[in-house]
Structure 1
Amino acid sequence: MPWIVMAFAMSHLLCFHLRRLIHTTPSTSVEISGSLMVLIQRTTTYAWNVHDGCCTDAELQELQDHQKDNRVTHKPSLLAFLAYTLYFPAILVGPAFPYDAYASLVDDSLFETPRPRKLKLKGRRRAGYRRMVFGLFFLAIYAVWGGSADMSRLIDPAWQRNHTILRRILFVQKAGVITRFKYYAVWSISEGACIISGLGFNGYNAANGRTRWDRVRNIDVLSVELAQNIKELLDAWNMNTNIWLKTCVYLRITSRGEKPGFASTLFTFLTSAFWHGLPLGYYLTFVFGGFLQALGKMVRRNVRPFFIATDKQGEQIEQGKHLKYLYDVLSIITTQTLINFAVIPFLLLDWRDSVRGWNSVCWYGVVVVACAFAYFKGFGGVGRLQSRLQKQQRDDTLNDLLFDATPTSELRDRVGLDEELLTRDVDEMIQKLLSNGSLASREAADQIKDMSSDGKAITKAAVKDAVEGNRSGSGSEI
């Protein structure tokens, strides 16, 4: 049933998207399709909430916590359903939210959260007005500088002749940031209206007992502007729409017992593109965004560990923090540069204009992503990096094992090594013992050679005993 609701809602939206396309309605025009997009979020969310409310105990175990929390087990009246879907403070630009949140606002159960201390429920108006002020601030910036950040300049031949490729790329970064301000503005003002109505209440801060009003927060500006990868950026951008896509599309198209993969990510991005409209610029942006997110996962898994030095408990050590800072700065710059490239088609919309816009900056984003994928997937980059990472972990483990008092079992559990050492591990241990230079280490190396020649099993515990035994016998010579 939820898929039928989704298909009907999207088909209805398609009619309005076709109308906009046929009549070439400008993207700046305010008409019904924007509110209809919000209605689709609520109706499809409600359909899946009802579906989850009818799950058996076995099916319930497969749901994530937020899906369990938002289940609808008792169907509301038609009036209550319409009041939810047409909730006025968020009818134009959202945010989306589950039916359970609205129902709890109506019956006052939303405010029955246990309080850390005997404090009055307060701060609603202050929080709402603060969001309004933030929204007006961003709106003012966009009103003043938005005209100088028009992406259509990229396809103006006269403008291109007067700007070098470097200046065009810098312009894209400036335009990307300023363009985001108009979204910050409308989402902040809408959130403020929801807070004033009471829907923004989200319990109390456990540390200081203050009332939280961030239940329907739709944007985290700092997290967007300082994101280290595309996933972090998207998690902080249009947050409730991302939740809608995750709960109604991403998690639903994956077979039971399997984890969502790249296909699920790409399908979700295509759904988001279709929800936005029919111009092919949307699809260029969202398909490219899917590749950016997949690339971000590969970089974080295979590159990031080389920039983070940790101690035996996995805590970051002071000596390695400068590398982590370097990685963070490079990640922020790369993420912002690539996302600003990605949104060029989103703003230009037309296929030819989008291609010309990307061409005016020499396709730098596509080149970076293509080269990175070629390295990771085509030239065995993942395998090489993982081999280096495993060797680095083995070296660190051997050093800790030979010259530290940390129990062998803890070391083994931390890095996932087997109890029995491979032949190359034995050779590495002997070389490290000899390179250490102490009398105890040299004697332990000879003892390990003898054990290996006799065909005995060389365990880490045996090596540890050999080192400790020779160390205690050598006394101060170590």
Structure 2
Amino acid sequence: MIDDFYSGLSAKVGGIPIDHLKVVSFYLAKSFSAYSWMPWVVMGFAMTHLLLFHIQRLIHVTPSTAIEISGSLMVLIQRTTTYAWNVHDGQLKEEELEDYQKDNRVMKQPPLLGFLAYTLYFPAILVGPAFPYDAYASLVDNSLFETSRPRKLKGRRRAGYRRMVFGLIFMALYAVFGGSTDMGFLIDSEWKKNHGILSRIAFLQKSAVITRCKYYAVWSISEGACIISGLGFNGYNEKNGRTRWDRVRNIDVLGVELAQNVKELLDAWNMNTNVWLRSCVYKRVTTKGKKPGFQSTLITFVTSAFWHGLPMGYYLTFIYGGFLQALGKLVRKNIRPFFIDTSKKPLYDVLSIVTTQMLINFAIIPFMLLGFKNSLKGWYSVGGYGIIVVIVAFNYFKYMGGTDRLQTKLKQRRDDALEELFDGTPTAEMRDKAGLDEELLTRDVDEIMEKLTKHGTLASREAADQIKDLSNEGKTITKGVVKDAVNVSKSE
């Protein structure tokens, strides 16, 4: 059976054997590792290979229910391109790399057989998860299990079987309820006659949850297989010393269903594919020395859509998702700080969860219906509420002065709280009132240092110097860092 499966992976795609994808990618990385363009060439070659396959599927009108190799080919694309970037990072100096790149760079390339074994690692060949070459190599040579203090590895089978049980439960939920919650009902004329707009919106929320169950199922089972093989080992829990088996964790169900914003949800969904997109696309298309912006986000979402296939539904979902993520940043920057220190924060959290779920559920309609016309019909069937929210919100923040008004109010809150910071013992309430959450402080560190310095006391100037030093070292300037700097300066 396994031989038949790998033979299928070696079948021709658009006239090009899939073996060429693996072998050519390997020798491109090996022969041109010193050139900065090498990983881009590998990615271009891999994506062209994938394009030929997608075209072939369209020509032959492959139904979504057919058993074919598209999922495994997508996994191969992840592994070959990840390997190329890991090799590229191995040629750079440490100071040029981020922590993730340092941890996963390939300093010594393996022989072809070792590379093929990595790309065809069986427990994760069907649906992932994606992982860097270094993780596989450390499993093979047992260095994955080396720790400062040798211990007996416990809980591997228990963790693996638990994932399998979770996967089977989600599979059963989808098998029982999937037929009655098919998103195709949204474009069925007869069904719509008997269901009003509110009923359709409610149906969409239920349908989306059940639809996600099939992904929870396959990713949980795949992760369990990886854990049983040993790849899931991730050291020990610092608090209780227990063995961790979450190295290749691919889904956080509660993180998805209870996410308060789109970023949180995406970070919990198909987690290793997100790491692949972030490390191979998002970070790479961003100019060095600059922070990734909306352009990087949009390129990443379009790449993800192309990776999934050619139907326009994918592109509608991911482009809309890019706007949702950008909108989420605006909300976190301009609205969230007003609630972090008030009794209304629990209500804000609940509303954030509900809003995030409704917008994401709206976003996936095209992903499930695929066709352009059907996608638009599906959106129209629920009143296009997701489009309306995005248009109204962006207009308010960008063109109606919403951002300026909110930032003016937040600036006054920060000014007041920073003044109070040195007039008495600083309290958590004061710092929260100032809006000193992690994201704001990372962005506004210069303004905070200026205000601390201008305050005129020795303590404030020393605190500003400490914050500046930490910022120059690349440390994240959180409210805890500000608190420590202020308290140390005052005690001195």
Q: What's the TM-score bracket when you normalise by the shorter of the two chains?
A: 0.7 to 0.9
Which position in structure 2 is the counterpart of 1:384? Answer: 405
Task: Specify which of 216, 223, 226 is matched with residue 248 of structure 2.
Answer: 216
**Which string of whole-angstrom CA distances, capped at 9 and with x for unpartnered residues, describes residues 15-71 of structure 1?**
11011112221223221111110000000000000000011x2xx323210111101
Alignment of 1:271-350 (within 5 A): 271-309=303-341, 320=342, 322-350=343-371
Identity fraction in percent: 70
CA contact (8 A) 1:35 1:92 kept: yes
Return structure 1 stretches of 4+ with deviation > 4 angstroms. Answer: 397-402, 410-416, 418-421
Residues 1:130 and 2:162 are matched in the alignment? yes
Structure 1 counterpart SS, 2:61: coil
Deviation at residue 419 of structure 1 after TM alignment: 5.7
- Alignment-mate amino acid for residue 292 of structure 2: P
Residues 1:84 and 2:118 are matched in the alignment? yes
Gaps of 5+ in 1: 310-319, 422-478
Structure 1 Cα separation of the partners of residues 351 and 425 of structure 2: 37
- The TM-score with structure 2 as length reference comes to 0.79
Q: State the number of aligned residues.
A: 402
Deviation at residue 398 of structure 1 after TM alignment: 4.7
Which position in structure 1 is the counterpart of 2:388? Answer: 367
Structure 1 counterpart SS, 2:451: coil
Structure 2 counterpart SS, 1:133: helix
Deviation at residue 157 of structure 1 after TM alignment: 1.0
Identify if the C-alpha distance between structure 1 residues 420 and 125 changes in structure 2 by more than 3 Å, giving closer, same or farther.
closer
**Which string of whole-angstrom CA distances, capped at 9 and with x for unpartnered residues, describes residues 309-347 of structure 1?**
1xxxxxxxxxx3x32111110100000000000000000
Residues 1:227 and 2:259 are matched in the alignment? yes
Structure 2 Cα separation of the partners of residues 91 and 405 of structure 1: 57
Alignment of 1:66-77 (within 5 A): 66-77=100-111
Task: Specify which of 156, 159, 168 is matched with residue 200 of structure 2.
Answer: 168
- Alignment-mate amino acid for residue 386 of structure 1: Q
Deviation at residue 415 of structure 1 after TM alignment: 8.1
Structure 2 Cα separation of the partners of residues 35 and 195 of structure 1: 19
Structure 2 Cα separation of the partners of residues 250 and 344 of structure 1: 25
- The TM-score with structure 1 as length reference comes to 0.81
Identify if the C-alpha distance between structure 1 residues 77 and 416 changes in structure 2 by more than 3 Å, giving closer, same or farther.
same
Identify if the C-alpha distance between structure 1 residues 3 and 419 changes in structure 2 by more than 3 Å, giving closer, same or farther.
closer
CA contact (8 A) 1:393 1:415 kept: no
Structure 2 counterpart SS, 1:61: helix
Which position in structure 1 is the counterpart of 2:210? Answer: 178
Gaps of 5+ in 2: 1-37, 435-444, 456-492
- Alignment-mate amino acid for residue 54 of structure 1: Q
**Which string of whole-angstrom CA distances, capped at 9 and with x for unpartnered residues, describes residues 61-112 of structure 1?**
2321011110101010111000000000011100000000000000000000
Is the deviation greater in 16-25 or in 87-96? 16-25
CA contact (8 A) 2:123 2:222 kept: yes
Structure 2 counterpart SS, 1:200: coil
Residues 1:15 and 2:49 are matched in the alignment? no
Task: Specify which of 79, 82, 95 is matched with residue 45 of structure 1.
Answer: 82
Deviation at residue 113 of structure 1 after TM alignment: 2.1
Structure 1 counterpart SS, 2:96: coil
Structure 2 Cα separation of the partners of residues 405 and 214 of structure 1: 42
Structure 1 counterpart SS, 2:344: helix
Residues 1:29 and 2:66 are matched in the alignment? yes
User: More relative contact order in 1 or in 2 (CA 8 Å, sep 6+)?
Assistant: 1
Identify if the C-alpha distance between structure 1 residues 399 and 81 changes in structure 2 by more than 3 Å, giving closer, same or farther.
closer
Is the deviation greater in 276-285 or in 387-396? 387-396
Structure 1 Cα separation of the partners of residues 42 and 147 of structure 2: 33
Structure 2 counterpart SS, 1:27: coil
CA contact (8 A) 2:420 2:426 kept: no
Identify if the C-alpha distance between structure 1 residues 74 and 401 changes in structure 2 by more than 3 Å, giving closer, same or farther.
closer
Q: Bigger radius of gyration, 1 or 2?
A: 1
Structure 2 Cα separation of the partners of residues 212 and 388 of structure 1: 45
CA contact (8 A) 2:75 2:130 kept: yes
Identify if the C-alpha distance between structure 1 residues 278 and 398 changes in structure 2 by more than 3 Å, giving closer, same or farther.
same
